[in-house]
């Protein structure tokens, strides 16, 4: 998100550090700063706000609060007049009938404010400059005011021309293949999974995503209805992605914003519009079915030092409470706090430890090794899995690992790729694919019998379980981990089964990358008239393979007839740099054939 230095300064009483120093503070105590741009008399920071802080910091006010806490500065207080309690004259209906296909379950809060007597025109220069500094295009004073609140508070706001609304406002699910033309002149075809703000004729806006043209603010607008909503994050994300409409509003809603944010945003938007466009509030509607309750959290000093070490003191925690204006009650070394309404990410003492660590600075916390033991409990799933893998490897099986995500299954993920939208319900399907690939590549692998296995988690609709799947020369078997251990009486005393010298030798092995280019095989069958001739032939083909092949030649056929012995070898040619041509392979193989023919005691079949 683009954050303006001057905009942040408007939220803080004291003078901010210079942009370079502020950038360092943000980087080392809060967020990654991806870019810094000088723009006129301002400095614009491009800050990477991760999802865990998108609830409160996709806004200038949120970032200013974070900076004030880190530096011990004072946030400015804005006293805004309360809204009147006059009911809205325009009818607003939230479709709550669960038996109706239009049932809009994802409406957490919806406020509509009617203002009359506004005068549409250009925004003042201070507002234009503020929006342009973060890459937004000024449109008119009312629309610009809604964008100001969005970028300042992190709460999306939209305004309709009240006189263009037919009948009333209805918040509902869209009708199948219902159409809307957005403010950017794009026609979108909706589905019943999309929520809309509509009037009696059709959609006015796509809820949480983008407004439509039908009730757009124009130069002739005199009466407006300001909507400030809070919608289900998953619903907004699905609609936004399906319609390819990624907007500033959808980004905030899909990362979840507390419905309590509407309290301040409603006062802010009315105050700004009155200041730059005039008008008066003539009615207010506020649908808030499940008000957010105050969340509390209790933690002790030891909960924090357990994570950050003993260098953290009660004084550090007290300083954090003061700097971030946390409502707190302290008894001894225990604190009971009210979690700030916008901090949806705070759920436990571990989150408090993270907050205090960032404030103090992780560079000031001494590094100490975490206690670690290689011992595992004999009854743990990890230990049992390790024992099964060792037993299978000892019996000639090789491990494969397949994707957990598949095209079909009993459990589906919300935003998976088209062919990876489900979690696997078995291991056998993937193992069969692995078997086919190994079978086709058997010449390169250098094995005749393919014995492979996989140990992994499979997912039912409401459960998950570790399974073991094996393929023994084309015969497949899949069992739950416990059943597999019981059937084959696998010992869990792995330390006794696996000598330390073997562990050490296994650890010394180094991985070598395989070639990404195709391989080519060639076979040669030779009659040998004596044992000495066979030995000589082995020497010839081995030397040849060292120069031209990626592995030792494989003896795949042998039989005797009268006094002669026939032996057949397979060679695998492959390059690490390119795809080999037919001419190259044939040229190399011709050299081998010529050398064999030149020796006495050989006859090529």
The domain limits of the chain are 2-71, 91-287, 296-364, 381-507, 520-604
The rounded distance, in Å, linking the Cα atoms of 387 and 418 is 36
105: confidence class by pLDDT, cuts 50, 70, 90: confident
CA triplet 121, 125, 130: central angle to 5 degrees?
110
507: confidence class by pLDDT, cuts 50, 70, 90: very low
Q: Which residue has the tokens 């696998």?
A: 490
The pLDDT assigned to 505 comes to 45
The pLDDT assigned to 503 comes to 43
Contact 95, 171 (CB under 8 A): yes
Token couple for 368: 């100490």
444: confidence class by pLDDT, cuts 50, 70, 90: low
CA triplet 91, 95, 97: central angle to 5 degrees?
130
DSSP character at residue 516? S
The pLDDT assigned to 197 comes to 98
pLDDT of 501 > 50? The answer is: no
pLDDT of 374 > 50? The answer is: yes
493: confidence class by pLDDT, cuts 50, 70, 90: confident
DSSP character at residue 185? S
Percentage of the chain exceeding pLDDT 70: 95
Count of CB atoms situated within 10 Å of the CB of 573: 18
**3-class secondary-structure state, position 468:** strand
The rounded distance, in Å, linking the Cα atoms of 156 and 163 is 22
What stretch of H or E contains 481? Answer: helix 481-488
Residue 424 sits at φ, ψ, to 5 deg, of: -60, 140
Instruction: Please report, for residues 210, 413, 481, the alpha-carbon distance to residue 241 in angstroms, rounded to integers and kept in the order given.
Output: 13, 15, 39
pTM of the model: 0.69
126-131 mean pLDDT: 96
CA triplet 499, 502, 505: central angle to 5 degrees?
155
The pLDDT assigned to 365 comes to 87
pLDDT of 510 > 70? The answer is: no
CA triplet 397, 403, 407: central angle to 5 degrees?
130
90-99 mean pLDDT: 94
Q: Which residue has the tokens 């870019």?
A: 35
- CATH class given for the domain over 91-287: alpha beta
pLDDT of 511 > 70? The answer is: no
pLDDT of 442 > 90? The answer is: no
239-244 mean pLDDT: 96
Percentage of the chain exceeding pLDDT 90: 79
More confident residue, 246 or 448: 246
Return the CATH fold of 520-604: Alpha-Beta Plaits (3.30.70)
pLDDT of 446 > 70? The answer is: no
Closest CA to 272 of 389, 406, 162, 123: 123
Contact 509, 489 (CB under 8 A): no
pLDDT of 140 > 70? The answer is: yes
Q: Which CATH superfamily is domain 381-507 in?
A: Bira Bifunctional Protein; Domain 2 (3.30.930.10)
Token couple for 11: 């939220």
**3-class secondary-structure state, position 101:** coil
For residue range 380-437, what is the model confidence (pLDDT) as tens digits?
898 899 999 999 998 989 899 999 999 888 988 876 777 788 999 999 999 999 998 8
549-577 mean pLDDT: 90
The pLDDT assigned to 364 comes to 87
Q: What is the CATH number of domain 2-71?
A: 3.30.56.10
Give the helix ranges, DSSP H, for 324-417: 349-360, 381-394
* Equal CATH topology for 2-71 and 91-287: no
Q: What is the CATH number of domain 296-364?
A: 3.30.56.10
Per the DSSP assignment, residues forming a β-bridge with 399 are: 453
The rounded distance, in Å, linking the Cα atoms of 437 and 363 is 50
Length of the chain: 605
The rounded mean pLDDT for the chain is 92
316-338 mean pLDDT: 95
DSSP character at residue 182? B
Task: Point out the least confidently predicted range of 353-357, 406-410, 493-497.
Answer: 493-497
480-490 mean pLDDT: 95
The rounded distance, in Å, linking the Cα atoms of 225 and 111 is 10
496: confidence class by pLDDT, cuts 50, 70, 90: low
What stretch of H or E contains 337? Answer: strand 334-338
The rounded distance, in Å, linking the Cα atoms of 252 and 320 is 27
């Amino acid at each position: 998100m683009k954050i303006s230095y001057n905009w942040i300064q408007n939220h803080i009483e004291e003078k901010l550090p210079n942009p370079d120093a502020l950038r360092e503070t943000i980087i080392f105590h809060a967020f990654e700063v991806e870019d810094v741009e000088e723009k006129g008399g301002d400095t614009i920071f491009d800050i990477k706000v991760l999802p865990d802080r998108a609830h409160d910091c996709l806004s200038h006010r949120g970032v200013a609060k974070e900076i004030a806490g880190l530096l011990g500065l004072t946030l400015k207080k804005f006293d805004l007049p309360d809204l009147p309690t006059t009911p809205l004259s325009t009818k607003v209906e939230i479709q709550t009938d669960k038996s109706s296909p239009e049932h809009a379950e994802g409406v957490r809060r919806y406020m509509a404010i009617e203002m009359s007597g506004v005068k549409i025109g250009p925004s003042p220069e201070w507002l234009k400059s503020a929006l342009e500094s973060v890459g937004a295009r000024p449109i008119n004073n009312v629309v610009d005011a809604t964008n100001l609140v969005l970028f300042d508070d992190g709460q999306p706001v939209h305004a309709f021309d009240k006189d263009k609304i037919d009948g009333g406002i209805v918040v509902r699910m869209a009708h199948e293949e219902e159409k809307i033309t957005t403010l950017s002149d794009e026609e979108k075809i909706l589905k019943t999974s999309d929520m809309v703000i509509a009037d009696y004729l059709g959609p006015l806006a796509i809820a949480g995503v983008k407004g439509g043209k039908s009730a757009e603010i124009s130069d002739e607008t005199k009466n407006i209805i300001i909507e400030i909503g809070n919608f289900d994050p998953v619903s907004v994300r699905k609609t936004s992605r399906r319609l390819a409409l990624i907007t500033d509003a959808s980004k905030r809603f899909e990362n979840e914003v507390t419905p309590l944010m509407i309290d301040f945003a409603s006062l802010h938007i009315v105050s700004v519009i009155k200041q730059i466009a005039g008008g008066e509030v003539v009615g207010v509607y506020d649908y808030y079915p499940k008000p957010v309750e105050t969340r509390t959290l209790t933690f002790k000093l030891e909960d924090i030092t357990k994570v950050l070490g003993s260098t953290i003191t009660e004084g550090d925690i007290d300083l954090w409470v003061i700097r971030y204006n946390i409502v707190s009650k302290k008894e001894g070394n225990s604190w009971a706090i009210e979690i700030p309404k916008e901090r949806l990410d705070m759920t436990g003492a571990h989150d408090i430890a993270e907050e205090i660590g960032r404030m103090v600075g992780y560079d000031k916390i001494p590094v100490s090794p975490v206690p670690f033991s290689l011992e595992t409990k004999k009854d743990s799933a990890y230990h049992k899995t390790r024992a099964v893998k060792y037993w299978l490897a000892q019996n000639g099986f090789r491990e494969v690992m397949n994707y957990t995500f598949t095209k079909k299954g009993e459990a589906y993920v919300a935003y998976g790729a088209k062919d990876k939208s489900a979690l696997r319900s078995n291991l056998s399907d993937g193992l069969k694919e692995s078997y086919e690939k190994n079978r086709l590549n058997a010449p390169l692998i250098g094995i005749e019998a393919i014995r492979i296995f996989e140990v992994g988690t499979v997912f039912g609709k409401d459960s998950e379980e570790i399974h073991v799947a094996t393929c023994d020369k084309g015969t497949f078997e899949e069992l739950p981990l416990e059943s597999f251990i019981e059937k084959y009486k696998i010992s869990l005393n792995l330390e006794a089964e696996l000598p330390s010298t073997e562990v050490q030798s296994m650890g010394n092995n180094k991985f070598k990358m395989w070639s990404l280019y195709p391989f080519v095989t060639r076979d040669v069958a030779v009659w040998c008239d004596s044992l000495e001739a066979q030995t000589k032939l082995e020497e010839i083909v081995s030397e040849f393979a060292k120069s031209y092949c990626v592995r030792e030649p494989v003896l795949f056929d042998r039989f005797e007839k009268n006094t002669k012995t026939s032996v057949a070898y397979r060679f695998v040619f492959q390059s690490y740099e390119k795809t080999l041509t037919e001419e190259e392979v044939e040229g190399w193989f011709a050299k081998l054939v010529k050398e064999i023919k030149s020796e006495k005691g050989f006859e090529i079949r």
